[in-house]
Amino acid sequence: MHRFAALYAELDRTASTLAKREAIAGYLRDAPAGDAAWAVYVLGGGKLRRLATSTELRQALAASTGYADWLIDESYEQVGDLAETIALMLPEGDGSLADEPLQTWMEQKLPALAKLESADRIAQLQAWWRALRPAQVFLLNKLITGSLRVGVSHRLVVQAIAQWSGQPTDLISHRMSGPWKPAADALIALTHAAGDDEHLADRPYPFFLASPLEHEVETLGDVAEWMAEWKWDGIRAQLMRRDGHVGLWSRGEERLDGRFPEIEGAAAALKSDGVIDGEILAWDAQEKLPRPFTALQKRIGKLKPGAKLLASAPVCFMAYDLLEHNGSDLREQPLRERRDMLAALIDGVDPALMLSPPVVADSWATLTVERQKSRQRQTEGLMLKRLDSPYRVGRKRGDWWKWKVDPYTLDAVLLYAQPGHGRRSGLFTDYTFGVWDGDTLVPVAKAYSGLDDKEIGQLDRWIRAHTTDRFGPVRAVEATHVFELAFEAVQLSTRHKSGVATRFPRILRWRTDKGIADADKLDDLRRLASG
Amino acid sequence: MSDPLLQPRPEGLYCPAGEFFIDPMLPVARAVVTHAHGDHARSGSGRYQVAAAGIGLMRERLGQDALIDAHDYGETFRMGEVEVSLHPAGHVLGSAQVRMAYDGRVVVVSGDYKRDPDPTCVPFEPVPCDVFVTESTFGLPVYRWPPMAQVIDELLAWWDDCAQKQIPGVLFCYALGKAQRILAELAPRTERTVHLHGAMLRLVESYREAGVRMVPTEPVSDSARGRDFAGELILAPPSAAGSPWMKRFSKASTGFASGWMQIRGNRRRRGYDRGFVVSDHADWPGLIRSVEDSRASRIYVTHGDGDTLIRHLRDLGHDAQSLRVLRSTDNESGG
The reported pLDDT for the residue numbered B192 is 95
CATH of the domain at A139: 1.10.3260.10
pLDDT for position B329: 44
Are A382 and A446 part of one and the same domain?
no
A42-51, A203-212, A359-368 — which one is most confidently predicted on average?
A359-368
pLDDT at A327: 87
CB contact under 8 A, B308 and A71: yes
Which among B3, B15, B7, B165 is positioned nearest to B84, based on CA atoms?
A: B15
Parts of chain B belonging to CATH 3.60.15.10: 7-142+280-322
pLDDT confidence of residue B91: 97
pLDDT band at residue B327 using 50, 70 and 90 as cut-offs: low
* Confidence check: pLDDT of A377 > 70: yes
- Tell me: do A11 and A26 sit in the same domain: yes
Q: Is residue A301 part of a domain?
A: yes
Is the CB of residue A68 less than 8 Å away from at least one CB of chain B?
yes
pLDDT at B331 over 50: no
Contact A512, A487 (CB under 8 A): no
Query: By C-alpha distance, which of A202, A302, A204 is closest to A262?
Result: A302
| Percentage of residues of chain B with pLDDT beyond 70 | 96
Read off the CATH number of the domain in which A360 is found: 3.30.470.30
| Distance from the B154 Cα atom to the nearest Cα atom in chain A, whole angstroms | 12
- What count of Cα atoms within 13 Å lies in the side-chain half-sphere of residue A66? 4
Which residue of B268, B328, B331 to mutate against A (max A Cβ within 10 Å)?
B268
Total Cβ atoms within 10 A of residue A223: 18
- A389 and A434 assigned to the same domain: no
Residue A177: pLDDT over 90: no
- Name the band, by pLDDT with cuts 50, 70 and 90, for residue A445: very high
Q: What is the mean pLDDT of chain A?
A: 89
Domain that includes residue A458, residue range = 408-530
Q: B191: pLDDT confidence band, cut at 50, 70 and 90?
A: very high
Instruction: Let me know whether A84 and A222 are in one domain.
Output: no
Task: Tell me the CATH architecture of domain B148-276.
Answer: 3-Layer(aba) Sandwich (3.40)
The pLDDT of residue A423 is above 90: no
Cβ-based contacts of A89 with chain B (< 8 Å): 141-142
Could you tell me if A327 and A416 lie in one domain?
A: no
CB atoms within 10 A of CB A504: 14
CB-CB contact of A487 with A503 (8 Å): yes
Closest CA to A166 of A200, A187, A206, A193: A193
Any domain includes A55: yes
CATH 3.40.50.10890 residue ranges of chain B are: 148-276
In a domain, A328, yes or no: yes
Determine the residue of chain B that is closest to A90 in CA distance.
Answer: B142
Cα(B119)–Cα(B181) distance, rounded to whole angstroms?
7
- The pLDDT, as a whole number, for residue B111 is 93
Residues of chain A contacting B273 with CB distance shorter than 8 Å = 13-15
- Same domain? For A266 and A321 the reply is yes
Among A14, A70, A79, the residue with its CB nearest the CB of B265 is A79
The number of beta carbons lying within 10 Å of the beta carbon of residue A285 is 10
Same domain, residue pair A412 and A398:
no
Choose from A16-25, A483-492, B125-134, B320-329 the range with maximum mean pLDDT: B125-134
| pLDDT tens digits, one per residue of B45-78 | 999 999 999 999 999 899 999 999 999 999 999 9
| Average pLDDT score over residue span A14-26 | 88
Top-confidence range, A24-38, A237-251, A280-294: A24-38
The average pLDDT across A229-250 equals 90
Give the pLDDT score at A406: 79
pLDDT value, residue B250: 84
A19 part of contact set with chain B, CB < 8 Å: no
Poorest-pLDDT segment among A203-217, A348-362, A363-377: A203-217
Q: Indicate the number of domains in chain A.
A: 3
On the question of pLDDT at A422 being above 80, the answer is: no
Percent of chain B with pLDDT over 90: 82
Cβ neighbours for A523, distance < 8 A, ≥ 6 positions apart: A437
Lowest mean pLDDT among A25-34, A388-397, B196-205: A388-397
* Residue A156 belongs to some domain of the structure: no
Q: What angle do CA A326, A390, A216 make, to 5 degrees?
A: 145
DSSP code for B17 = T
Single residue among A125, A145, A165 that ends a domain in this structure: A145
CATH level 3 topology of B7-142+280-322: Metallo-beta-lactamase; Chain A (3.60.15)
Last residue of a domain, one of A98, A126, A145: A145
Contacts of A461 (CB under 8 A, 6+ apart): none
Question: How sure is the predictor about A211, in pLDDT bands with cuts at 50, 70 and 90?
Answer: confident
Q: Does the pLDDT at position A339 exceed 90?
A: yes
**pLDDT reported for residue A346:** 94
Q: Which residues of A touch B285 (CB under 8 A)?
A: none
Query: What percent of chain A shows pLDDT beyond 90?
Result: 52
Residue A158 lies in a domain: no
Assess if residue A39 is contained within a domain.
yes
In this predicted structure, which of A236-250, B144-158, B163-177 has the lowest mean pLDDT?
A: A236-250
A and B: number of Cβ contacts within 8 A = 62
Is B308 touching A (CB cutoff 8 A)?
yes
A470 in contact with B at a CB cutoff of 8 Å? no
**pLDDT score of A458 more than 60:** yes
Identify whether A184 is part of a domain.
no
**Residue A15 forms part of a structural domain:** yes
Q: Are residues A482 and A338 in the same domain?
A: no
Query: Which residue in B140, B265, B267 is closest to A75 by CB distance?
Result: B140
pLDDT at A201: 56
Q: Nearest Cβ partner of B265 from A13, A89, A424?
A: A424
User: In this predicted complex, what is the ipTM?
Assistant: 0.90
Q: Please say if the pLDDT value at position A131 is more than 50.
A: yes
Q: Which of B113, B26, B69, B147 is nearest to B294 (CA)?
A: B113
| pLDDT tens-digit map of A62-119 | 999 999 999 999 999 888 889 999 999 999 999 999 999 999 999 999 999 999 999 9
pLDDT at B304 (0 to 100): 56
Across the interface, of A89, A422, A453, the residue whose CB is closest to B141 is: A89
- Residues B74-90 have a mean pLDDT of 97
Partner residue opposite A85 with nearest CB, options B142, B144, B308: B142
pLDDT over threshold 80, residue B325: no
Chain B residues lying within 8 Å of A148, measured CB to CB: none
**How far away is chain A from the Cα of B331, in angstroms, using its nearest Cα?**
12
Distance from CA of A230 to the nearest CA of B (A): 38
The domain boundary residue, chosen from A384, A404, A424? A404
User: Which residues of chain B lie closer than 8 angstroms to A427, CB-CB?
Assistant: 265, 269
DSSP category for residue A399:
S
